[in-house]
Structure 1
Amino acid sequence: MSHITAIKKQAPANSLVWLVTGCSSGFGLEFYLNIKARGDYIIATARDLSNPNMTHCIQVSLTEENVSVYQLDVTASQESLNGIIAEAIKIYGRIDVLVNNAGYVALGGWEDMGYDGFVRQFETNVFGLLKVTNAVLPHMRERRSGTLVFMGSLSGWQGNEFCGAYAGSKFAVEGMVEALQKEVEQFGIRTLLFEPGRFRANLLSPSPVVAHVSKIDDYKEAWEMTLRSYADVDSKRRGDPAKAVEIIMDVVREETFYRYIEEGDVPYAFTNAKYGPMKLRLPLGQDAFDTIKTKCDLTLKVLDVWERLITSTDHNDVRHSDIEVSSEESST
């Protein structure tokens, strides 16, 4: 049963209206707290509104104008989600920012998860955000304005054992969102993809994780070690989701980052000419920085070492000078 806190007065032009999926815990809950604290307007959604955090949000929405709550399951049909988003737009008269945050982690090997396990992972992490975004896009295109935020992952850069389905879903999102940005920027719609590393976001708590226990003897020892390592590391993750969400909101709102850099300890804006504007991707976390840099360095080394072999496959009548490479394709 869906819940809507009633249509409220239109949000003022100097505030943003956010619709966030997966608000019951982790990054989604931090978005709710941060948006509310900054005085913007939030439509907080979740699949299960009986969650204690969502019950609290519902109570707050009854007395505070800038908080509304709606039940939204990203695995619902496109027709159903179109209707839900249409009703959500009526609450404040618009949606300025969509945050695609809902998702979960499926752990398990290729052989143990099989086709059905991979499909279930993609239904939420890939096709869920596809459907929600497609439900919102006509509204943003009509207004020629809006921001689409996608919560990617370090797993969209690196796959790890027994995490193939989750990594695959995040790799898919990387390519899909990169294409989407090029499709919708002509309408004044911004597309932002954030790639958090390992954060203490309860992503591996019993609710957002599905573990496919290995029944194949050859994998059992490695599987059990992997499962133990995930359980041990969750509470030791260095990333603070509250700090990550602060940065994301700064980027969306195009506000100054009050973080300090070495050159004089002066606050800098993400539009600072020295650093350039954020165009699409932004990794978050020291581990994300280290892992992505290492992979990029290794990739560049492979290209350097194997350049002659890699570039030897063209037809003999093709001149290298005839090949054009768009610099925009590598923009991040």
Structure 2
Amino acid sequence: MSSLVWLVTGCSPGGFGEYFVQSILARGDKVIATARSVEKIKHFEQAGAAILQLDITDTQQSIKDTVARAIEIYGQIDVLVNNAAYIAIGTWEDLEPEDFQAQFDTNVFGTLRITRALLPHFRTRRAGTNVFIGSLSGWIGHPGCGAYAGSKHALEGMVESLYHETSHLGIQTLLIEPGRFRTLLLSSQNMRAAPTKVAENAEFNKARLDGLATENQRQPGDPGKLSEIVVDLVRREGVAKGREVPFRLPLGIDCFNDVQAKCEETLKLLEDWKDVIRGTDYS
């Protein structure tokens, strides 16, 4: 495969974005690394990447202008990796509606804005790949993670629609669903935890935050391996060589186990309640 040009969001140190940049450059491809603070990603220039300031919560017009500048750097963009995200922690009563809105504005609407800005470029060329970083939380709503799980559930539904809308245009869509990987997602700069305002939630809230703090940088997944798999999928190399690339791919042993259990539970429910579920047509 010839050299590809990648645009990656959320490339601040310690996240998947940093590993994506390293893996992409190692394959001989070109990459435009982006972050809210360009100062945090200046080191990528020495490695051979181009860098741009990009806040996916900016206006659609501002993001369109940034994408236009990105296209000018190498003349085209072949792959968009939607990686920018953060996690809000708190129960329904502890998080304010504004906290849910902020979570969705980054994880859902920010992703929507940058993807919409690039779609005309891909559509005109009848080529391009949109990679979306979903989550195990797009399958399961863990307690205390309702805002994050809601954003990932919403994103997955939207991305599946995009897949069906654009496949015939030569545009590839990949939805990657990581489990627990050793990034800085649970660090103080990426996790926003709301203190509890409900006495009945105090014990649960403390246990949840203590557990997440203990898990930070002890997650089982290797983000470097994930980034290599994603590059393989796009380039049809390595683990993807000679295989049909799926639209949706969970990654991580915990993700495999939990998704399998969710599927088995759903199939059992469908079988146990089949007469009720299928008995709702007009007589």
Q: Structure 1 residue aligned with 2:161, among 176, 179, 182? A: 179
CA gap 1:174/1:44 in 2 versus in 1, 3 angstroms = same
Larger RCO: Structure 1 or Structure 2 (Cα < 8 Å, ≥ 6 residues apart)? 2
Trace 1:31-46 onto structure 2 (pairs within 5 A).
31-46=20-35
- Once the two structures are TM-superposed, the CA of residue 168 in structure 1 deviates from its matched residue by 0.3
1:158 maps to 2:146: no
Check whether the contact 1:27–1:101 (CA below 8 A) recurs between aligned residues: yes
1:57 maps to 2:44: yes
Check whether the contact 1:105–1:210 (CA below 8 A) recurs between aligned residues: yes
- Once the two structures are TM-superposed, the CA of residue 43 in structure 1 deviates from its matched residue by 0.3
Counterpart position of 2:2: 14
Check whether the contact 1:271–1:278 (CA below 8 A) recurs between aligned residues: no
- Once the two structures are TM-superposed, the CA of residue 270 in structure 1 deviates from its matched residue by 5.1
Which whole-Å deviations, capped at 9, do the CAs of 1:233-276 have from their partners, x for residues lacking one? 1222110000011111100101131xxxxxxxxxxx4543xxxx
Check whether the contact 2:16–2:83 (CA below 8 A) recurs between aligned residues: yes
Counterpart position of 1:211: 193
- Once the two structures are TM-superposed, the CA of residue 282 in structure 1 deviates from its matched residue by 0.3
**Structure 1: gaps (5+ residues):** 1-12, 258-268, 317-332
After TM superposition, where is structure 1 displaced by more than 4 Å over at least 4 residues in a row?
A: none
Aligned counterparts of 2:42 and 2:235: Cα–Cα separation in 1: 28
Amino acid corresponding to residue 159 of structure 2 in structure 1: V
1:289 maps to 2:256: yes
Aligned counterparts of 2:216 and 2:275: Cα–Cα separation in 1: 44
**TM-score for both structures, normalised by structure 1:** 0.83
Counterpart position of 2:175: 193
Which whole-Å deviations, capped at 9, do the CAs of 1:109-168 have from their partners, x for residues lacking one? 111112111000000000000000000000000000000000000010011111000000
Aligned counterparts of 1:80 and 1:188: Cα–Cα separation in 2: 27
Amino acid corresponding to residue 285 of structure 1 in structure 2: G
Check whether the contact 2:183–2:217 (CA below 8 A) recurs between aligned residues: no
Counterpart position of 1:27: 16
Count of residues paired in the alignment: 282
Amino acid corresponding to residue 138 of structure 1 in structure 2: P
Trace 1:266-277 onto structure 2 (pairs within 5 A).
269=240, 271-272=242-243, 277=244
Aligned counterparts of 2:122 and 2:39: Cα–Cα separation in 1: 31
Counterpart position of 1:238: 220
- Residue aligned with 2:234, SS: helix
Aligned counterparts of 2:248 and 2:241: Cα–Cα separation in 1: 13
- Residue aligned with 1:174, SS: helix
Check whether the contact 1:101–1:150 (CA below 8 A) recurs between aligned residues: yes
| Identical residues among aligned pairs (%) | 50
- Residue aligned with 1:90, SS: helix
**TM-score for both structures, normalised by structure 2:** 0.97
Aligned counterparts of 1:198 and 1:191: Cα–Cα separation in 2: 23
- Once the two structures are TM-superposed, the CA of residue 55 in structure 1 deviates from its matched residue by 2.6
CA gap 1:207/1:252 in 2 versus in 1, 3 angstroms = same
**Structure 2: gaps (5+ residues):** none
Counterpart position of 1:319: none
- Once the two structures are TM-superposed, the CA of residue 278 in structure 1 deviates from its matched residue by 2.4
- Once the two structures are TM-superposed, the CA of residue 49 in structure 1 deviates from its matched residue by 1.8
- Residue aligned with 2:103, SS: helix
- Once the two structures are TM-superposed, the CA of residue 279 in structure 1 deviates from its matched residue by 3.0
- Residue aligned with 1:313, SS: coil
- Residue aligned with 1:112, SS: coil
Which whole-Å deviations, capped at 9, do the CAs of 1:198-249 have from their partners, x for residues lacking one? 0001111111111111121111110000000011112221100000111111
Larger Rg: 1
- Once the two structures are TM-superposed, the CA of residue 74 in structure 1 deviates from its matched residue by 0.4
1:280 maps to 2:268: no
Amino acid corresponding to residue 140 of structure 2 in structure 1: Q
